[in-house]
């Protein structure tokens, strides 16, 4: 997966994905900061003023922290949010790899919370590719969200770390495993 990508989402899901990914990436000091901040910056004009302000509030502490690794990326995203010209296009655009990383960050942030967004995204088989599904299934499996006697994820994994016993995430896991082939 390379080049430019597009993730077809409605405005509410777009805002939620960006907020969850930003919350996960803030302070990580890894490549995810650059990927998430680039997608935020590229799509700032597609967000309404309230969503831009919420994201800016979440990003500002990381941009102001002066961290030589994270601050430049967050500063660029913050500038884009503050100066974005309105853009009425749908979905999220960006580098295909950055979009995949953004989805992983949002998913990891949301694990253990509400599964509704991920249940909706999994209804469209074209939104989340097979590699993403396999990795997300592994993450749920290792966190203990796989239902009893469910198949193991199709990629290398560790043993489950417990039994999270959340039926909503169990359903997401089963959809991921069934869609990973």
Q: Which among 107, 96, 101, 100 has a CA at the least distance from the CA of 128?
A: 100
pLDDT confidence of residue 115: 95
Instruction: Give the model confidence (pLDDT) of 106-142 as tens digits.
Output: 999 999 899 999 999 998 887 888 889 999 999 999 9
pLDDT confidence of residue 3: 67
The answer on pLDDT for 180 being more than 50 is: no
Give yes or no for a contact between 25 and 33, defined as CB atoms under 8 angstroms apart.
Answer: yes
Give yes or no for a contact between 42 and 137, defined as CB atoms under 8 angstroms apart.
Answer: no
Q: Which residues pair with 93 in a beta bridge?
A: 6
pLDDT confidence of residue 145: 93
Per-residue DSSP letter, 27? T
């Amino acid at each position: 997966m390379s080049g430019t990508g597009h993730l077809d989402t409605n405005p509410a899901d777009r805002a939620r994905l960006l907020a969850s990914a930003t919350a996960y990436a803030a302070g990580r000091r890894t490549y995810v900061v650059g990927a998430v901040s680039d997608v935020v910056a590229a799509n700032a004009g597609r967000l309404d003023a309230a969503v831009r302000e919420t994201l800016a509030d979440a990003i500002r502490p990381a941009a102001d922290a002066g961290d030589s690794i994270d601050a430049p990326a967050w500063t660029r995203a913050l500038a884009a949010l503050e100066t974005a010209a309105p853009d009425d296009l749908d979905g999220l655009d960006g580098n295909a790899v950055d979009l995949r990383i953004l989805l992983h960050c949002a998913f990891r942030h949301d694990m253990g919370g509400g599964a509704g967004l991920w249940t909706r995204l999994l209804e469209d088989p074209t939104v989340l590719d097979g590699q993403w599904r396999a990795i997300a299934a592994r993450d749920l499996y290792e966190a203990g969200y796989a239902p009893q006697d469910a198949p193991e994820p199709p990629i290398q994994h560790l043993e489950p770390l417990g039994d999270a016993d959340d039926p909503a995430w169990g359903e997401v896991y089963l959809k991921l495993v069934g869609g990973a082939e």
